[in-house]
Amino acid sequence: MKTPIESMLLVLFASFLGSFGAVFLKWGAGRMSLNLKSMLLNWRLAAGVALYLISTVFYLMALKHGELSILFPMVSLGYVWTLLWARLFFGEPFTGRKLGGLALIFAGLIVLNLGRS
Amino acid sequence: MPGNSSAAPGSTARKAFSFTHNQSLLLVFCCTLFGGVAQYLFKISTTHAAFTFENGSVNWLAIVANYPLWIGLACYGIFTLLITLALRDGELSVLYPVISLTYIWVVFLSVLVLHEPLTPWKLAGVALICLGVAFLGSGGKKPAQ
Protein backbone atom coordinates (compact mmCIF):
# COMPACT_ATOMS: atom_id res chain seq x y z
CA MET A 1 0.00 0.00 0.00
CA LYS A 2 1.33 3.41 -0.92
CA THR A 3 0.76 6.60 0.96
CA PRO A 4 -0.17 9.27 -1.59
CA ILE A 5 1.03 12.82 -1.23
CA GLU A 6 -2.60 14.02 -1.18
CA SER A 7 -3.20 12.10 2.06
CA MET A 8 -0.12 13.66 3.60
CA LEU A 9 -1.23 17.14 2.61
CA LEU A 10 -4.64 16.43 4.14
CA VAL A 11 -3.00 15.41 7.44
CA LEU A 12 -0.89 18.55 7.29
CA PHE A 13 -4.00 20.68 6.85
CA ALA A 14 -5.87 18.76 9.57
CA SER A 15 -3.03 19.27 12.04
CA PHE A 16 -2.98 22.98 11.17
CA LEU A 17 -6.73 23.35 11.81
CA GLY A 18 -6.49 21.26 14.97
CA SER A 19 -3.76 23.49 16.36
CA PHE A 20 -6.09 26.48 16.01
CA GLY A 21 -8.69 24.42 17.83
CA ALA A 22 -6.28 24.26 20.75
CA VAL A 23 -5.74 28.03 20.58
CA PHE A 24 -9.47 28.72 20.82
CA LEU A 25 -9.94 26.18 23.62
CA LYS A 26 -7.15 27.80 25.58
CA TRP A 27 -8.58 31.23 24.92
CA GLY A 28 -12.05 30.07 25.94
CA ALA A 29 -10.84 28.13 28.97
CA GLY A 30 -9.31 31.30 30.36
CA ARG A 31 -12.79 32.82 30.48
CA MET A 32 -14.59 29.71 31.59
CA SER A 33 -16.59 29.28 34.74
CA LEU A 34 -17.72 25.84 35.77
CA ASN A 35 -21.36 25.97 34.88
CA LEU A 36 -22.99 24.45 31.85
CA LYS A 37 -24.75 27.59 30.64
CA SER A 38 -21.65 29.74 30.55
CA MET A 39 -19.72 26.93 28.86
CA LEU A 40 -22.37 26.60 26.16
CA LEU A 41 -22.44 30.35 25.61
CA ASN A 42 -18.65 30.56 25.38
CA TRP A 43 -18.12 31.02 21.63
CA ARG A 44 -14.39 30.52 21.91
CA LEU A 45 -14.87 27.05 23.35
CA ALA A 46 -17.46 26.32 20.65
CA ALA A 47 -15.05 27.49 17.94
CA GLY A 48 -12.31 25.29 19.41
CA VAL A 49 -14.51 22.21 19.41
CA ALA A 50 -15.75 23.01 15.89
CA LEU A 51 -12.18 23.35 14.59
CA TYR A 52 -11.29 20.00 16.15
CA LEU A 53 -14.30 18.37 14.51
CA ILE A 54 -13.50 19.84 11.08
CA SER A 55 -9.88 18.81 11.47
CA THR A 56 -11.05 15.26 12.25
CA VAL A 57 -13.03 15.15 9.00
CA PHE A 58 -9.91 16.07 7.01
CA TYR A 59 -7.87 13.53 8.96
CA LEU A 60 -10.39 10.79 8.14
CA MET A 61 -10.31 11.78 4.47
CA ALA A 62 -6.53 11.44 4.64
CA LEU A 63 -6.70 8.01 6.26
CA LYS A 64 -8.80 6.61 3.46
CA HIS A 65 -5.73 6.13 1.29
CA GLY A 66 -2.36 5.27 2.66
CA GLU A 67 -0.70 3.74 5.67
CA LEU A 68 -1.83 4.48 9.19
CA SER A 69 1.73 3.93 10.40
CA ILE A 70 2.84 6.90 8.28
CA LEU A 71 -0.16 9.20 8.56
CA PHE A 72 -0.78 9.01 12.31
CA PRO A 73 2.80 9.95 13.29
CA MET A 74 2.43 12.92 10.94
CA VAL A 75 -0.24 14.30 13.26
CA SER A 76 2.68 15.24 15.52
CA LEU A 77 3.14 18.22 13.19
CA GLY A 78 0.33 19.66 15.27
CA TYR A 79 2.78 20.05 18.17
CA VAL A 80 4.96 22.22 15.96
CA TRP A 81 2.08 24.54 15.03
CA THR A 82 0.81 24.65 18.60
CA LEU A 83 4.20 25.75 19.92
CA LEU A 84 4.28 28.55 17.37
CA TRP A 85 0.78 29.77 18.28
CA ALA A 86 1.53 29.48 22.00
CA ARG A 87 4.46 31.83 21.44
CA LEU A 88 2.53 34.19 19.15
CA PHE A 89 -0.83 34.42 20.90
CA PHE A 90 -0.08 33.62 24.53
CA GLY A 91 3.52 34.76 24.79
CA GLU A 92 4.71 31.40 26.07
CA PRO A 93 8.49 31.45 25.67
CA PHE A 94 10.46 29.05 23.52
CA THR A 95 12.83 27.09 25.71
CA GLY A 96 15.83 25.05 24.66
CA ARG A 97 13.95 21.88 25.42
CA LYS A 98 10.96 22.91 23.36
CA LEU A 99 13.17 23.73 20.39
CA GLY A 100 15.02 20.44 20.88
CA GLY A 101 11.70 18.63 20.91
CA LEU A 102 10.64 20.40 17.73
CA ALA A 103 13.90 19.50 16.01
CA LEU A 104 13.50 15.85 17.01
CA ILE A 105 9.90 15.76 15.76
CA PHE A 106 10.94 17.33 12.45
CA ALA A 107 13.80 14.86 12.09
CA GLY A 108 11.40 12.02 12.89
CA LEU A 109 8.93 13.17 10.25
CA ILE A 110 11.68 13.33 7.63
CA VAL A 111 13.07 9.91 8.54
CA LEU A 112 9.54 8.48 8.58
CA ASN A 113 8.94 9.70 5.07
CA LEU A 114 12.19 8.25 3.80
CA GLY A 115 10.56 4.93 4.62
CA ARG A 116 7.41 5.63 2.68
CA SER A 117 6.76 2.61 0.46
CA MET B 1 -34.21 25.28 27.18
CA PRO B 2 -35.87 22.01 28.27
CA GLY B 3 -33.66 19.49 30.00
CA ASN B 4 -31.26 22.12 31.16
CA SER B 5 -31.46 21.57 34.87
CA SER B 6 -30.77 24.43 37.20
CA ALA B 7 -28.28 22.50 39.33
CA ALA B 8 -24.98 23.61 37.87
CA PRO B 9 -23.23 20.39 36.81
CA GLY B 10 -19.53 20.14 37.30
CA SER B 11 -19.29 22.81 39.92
CA THR B 12 -19.41 20.35 42.80
CA ALA B 13 -17.14 17.82 41.08
CA ARG B 14 -14.16 20.10 41.17
CA LYS B 15 -11.28 18.47 43.01
CA ALA B 16 -13.61 16.06 44.74
CA PHE B 17 -10.82 13.52 44.36
CA SER B 18 -7.23 13.50 43.24
CA PHE B 19 -4.77 10.94 41.96
CA THR B 20 -1.38 9.92 43.26
CA HIS B 21 1.61 10.03 40.95
CA ASN B 22 1.38 6.33 40.12
CA GLN B 23 -2.35 6.51 39.52
CA SER B 24 -1.81 9.35 37.06
CA LEU B 25 0.81 7.28 35.26
CA LEU B 26 -1.53 4.31 35.07
CA LEU B 27 -4.32 6.54 33.76
CA VAL B 28 -2.12 7.88 30.99
CA PHE B 29 -0.96 4.39 30.14
CA CYS B 30 -4.58 3.23 29.75
CA CYS B 31 -5.32 6.35 27.78
CA THR B 32 -2.60 5.50 25.22
CA LEU B 33 -4.20 2.08 24.70
CA PHE B 34 -7.55 3.73 23.95
CA GLY B 35 -5.80 6.22 21.69
CA GLY B 36 -4.09 3.49 19.69
CA VAL B 37 -7.29 1.49 19.26
CA ALA B 38 -9.13 4.68 18.25
CA GLN B 39 -6.63 5.26 15.43
CA TYR B 40 -7.01 1.69 14.22
CA LEU B 41 -10.81 2.05 14.22
CA PHE B 42 -10.56 5.39 12.37
CA LYS B 43 -8.49 3.72 9.69
CA ILE B 44 -10.89 0.81 9.19
CA SER B 45 -13.86 3.18 9.29
CA THR B 46 -12.54 4.89 6.17
CA THR B 47 -12.43 1.65 4.22
CA HIS B 48 -15.72 0.50 5.71
CA ALA B 49 -18.34 -0.39 3.10
CA ALA B 50 -19.89 3.00 2.50
CA PHE B 51 -17.71 5.83 3.66
CA THR B 52 -18.03 8.17 0.74
CA PHE B 53 -16.65 11.63 0.52
CA GLU B 54 -15.48 11.13 -2.98
CA ASN B 55 -18.52 11.22 -5.22
CA GLY B 56 -19.05 14.83 -4.39
CA SER B 57 -21.83 14.19 -1.94
CA VAL B 58 -21.73 12.91 1.60
CA ASN B 59 -23.75 9.79 2.30
CA TRP B 60 -25.03 10.67 5.76
CA LEU B 61 -26.85 7.39 6.28
CA ALA B 62 -23.64 5.47 5.61
CA ILE B 63 -21.80 7.62 8.10
CA VAL B 64 -24.45 6.98 10.76
CA ALA B 65 -24.16 3.24 10.04
CA ASN B 66 -20.36 3.30 10.14
CA TYR B 67 -19.89 1.65 13.52
CA PRO B 68 -16.05 1.59 13.61
CA LEU B 69 -16.17 5.36 13.26
CA TRP B 70 -18.44 5.78 16.28
CA ILE B 71 -16.61 3.26 18.44
CA GLY B 72 -13.38 4.97 17.42
CA LEU B 73 -14.76 8.37 18.38
CA ALA B 74 -15.93 6.94 21.71
CA CYS B 75 -12.43 5.57 22.35
CA TYR B 76 -11.02 8.94 21.46
CA GLY B 77 -13.44 10.56 23.90
CA ILE B 78 -12.27 8.22 26.66
CA PHE B 79 -8.66 9.00 25.67
CA THR B 80 -9.33 12.72 26.08
CA LEU B 81 -11.14 12.27 29.38
CA LEU B 82 -8.40 10.10 30.92
CA ILE B 83 -5.66 12.40 29.73
CA THR B 84 -7.44 15.43 31.18
CA LEU B 85 -7.90 13.70 34.52
CA ALA B 86 -4.29 12.52 34.62
CA LEU B 87 -2.84 15.87 33.60
CA ARG B 88 -4.84 17.59 36.33
CA ASP B 89 -2.85 15.94 39.10
CA GLY B 90 0.24 14.65 37.33
CA GLU B 91 3.35 16.34 36.09
CA LEU B 92 3.40 17.07 32.38
CA SER B 93 7.06 16.24 31.92
CA VAL B 94 6.50 12.77 33.34
CA LEU B 95 3.23 12.08 31.54
CA TYR B 96 4.16 13.32 28.06
CA PRO B 97 6.72 10.59 27.37
CA VAL B 98 4.07 8.05 28.36
CA ILE B 99 1.53 9.67 26.04
CA SER B 100 3.88 9.12 23.12
CA LEU B 101 3.41 5.37 23.66
CA THR B 102 0.34 5.91 21.47
CA TYR B 103 2.68 6.12 18.46
CA ILE B 104 4.14 2.73 19.34
CA TRP B 105 0.72 1.09 19.69
CA VAL B 106 -0.40 2.54 16.37
CA VAL B 107 2.65 1.18 14.58
CA PHE B 108 2.09 -2.23 16.26
CA LEU B 109 -1.54 -2.33 15.15
CA SER B 110 -0.69 -1.06 11.65
CA VAL B 111 1.85 -3.79 11.11
CA LEU B 112 0.15 -6.68 12.90
CA VAL B 113 -3.48 -6.08 12.00
CA LEU B 114 -3.45 -3.86 8.92
CA HIS B 115 -0.38 -5.62 7.47
CA GLU B 116 1.44 -2.43 6.62
CA PRO B 117 5.15 -2.93 5.92
CA LEU B 118 7.51 -2.33 8.82
CA THR B 119 10.68 -0.55 7.73
CA PRO B 120 13.68 0.56 9.79
CA TRP B 121 12.92 4.13 8.61
CA LYS B 122 9.47 3.95 10.12
CA LEU B 123 10.78 2.66 13.44
CA ALA B 124 13.50 5.28 13.57
CA GLY B 125 11.08 8.06 12.58
CA VAL B 126 8.56 7.09 15.23
CA ALA B 127 11.30 6.76 17.85
CA LEU B 128 12.52 10.29 17.06
CA ILE B 129 8.99 11.67 17.25
CA CYS B 130 8.41 9.99 20.64
CA LEU B 131 11.65 11.48 21.91
CA GLY B 132 10.65 14.88 20.56
CA VAL B 133 7.25 14.73 22.28
CA ALA B 134 8.97 13.73 25.53
CA PHE B 135 11.24 16.74 25.18
CA LEU B 136 8.32 19.07 24.56
CA GLY B 137 6.68 17.87 27.74
CA SER B 138 9.72 18.82 29.76
CA GLY B 139 10.07 22.18 28.01
CA GLY B 140 7.63 24.24 30.02
CA LYS B 141 9.10 26.06 32.94
CA LYS B 142 7.44 24.98 36.13
CA PRO B 143 8.45 26.47 39.44
CA ALA B 144 9.84 23.89 41.84
CA GLN B 145 7.43 23.16 44.65
Q: Which chain A residue has its CA at the smallest distance from B12's CA?
A: A34
**Which residue type, as a one-letter code, is found at position B58?**
V
SS3 call for A117: coil
Higher pLDDT, A93 or B54: A93
Residues comprising chain B, all counted: 145
- What is the pTM for the complete model shown? 0.80
SS3 call for B4: coil
Q: Is B47 on the interface with A (CB under 8 A)?
A: yes
- pLDDT at residue number B1: 38
pLDDT digits (tens, 9 = 90+) for B5-35: 444 444 444 556 777 778 888 888 889 999 9
> Per-residue pLDDT for A48 more than 50?
yes
Number of A–B residue contacts, CB under 8 Å:
144
Q: Is A91 on the interface with B (CB under 8 A)?
A: no
- pLDDT at residue number B17: 72
* Residues A101, B136: C-beta atoms closer than 8 Å: yes
Per-residue DSSP letter, B6? S
* ipTM of this predicted structure: 0.85
- How many other β-carbons are positioned within 10 Å of the β-carbon of residue B133? 22
- pLDDT at residue number B12: 45
Question: From the CA of B105, how many Å to the nearest CA of chain A?
Answer: 10
- pLDDT at residue number B5: 41
> Per-residue pLDDT for A103 more than 90?
yes
> Per-residue pLDDT for A72 more than 50?
yes
Number of H helices, E strands in chain B: 6, 0
Question: From the CA of A40, how many Å to the nearest CA of chain B?
Answer: 11
Mean pLDDT of chain A: 87
pLDDT digits (tens, 9 = 90+) for B66-121: 888 999 999 988 888 888 888 777 777 778 888 889 999 999 999 999 999 989 99
| DSSP alpha helix (H) spans, A30-114 | 36-40, 43-63, 68-74, 77-90, 96-114
> Per-residue pLDDT for A62 more than 60?
yes
> Per-residue pLDDT for B57 more than 70?
no
* Cα–Cα distance, B117 to B14 (Å, whole number): 46
* Residues A69, B120: C-beta atoms closer than 8 Å: no
Name chain B contacts of A114, Cβ cutoff 8 Å: 121, 125
Question: From the CA of A57, how many Å to the nearest CA of chain B?
Answer: 10
Residues A76-90, mean pLDDT to the nearest whole number: 89
In B, residues 10-29, which contact A (CB 8 Å cutoff)?
A: 10-11, 14
| pLDDT band (50, 70, 90) for residue B49 | low
How far is Cα of residue A55 from the mean position of the Cα atoms in its chain? 8
Exposure string of A13-35, with b = 16+ CB inside 10 Å and e = fewer, is: bbbbbbbbbbbbbbbbeeeeeee
Question: From the CA of A51, how many Å to the nearest CA of chain B?
Answer: 16
* Cα–Cα distance, B16 to B49 (Å, whole number): 45
Name chain B contacts of A1, Cβ cutoff 8 Å: 116
* Cα–Cα distance, B70 to A89 (Å, whole number): 34
* Cα–Cα distance, A11 to A17 (Å, whole number): 10
Residues comprising chain A, all counted: 117
* Residues B122, A112: C-beta atoms closer than 8 Å: yes
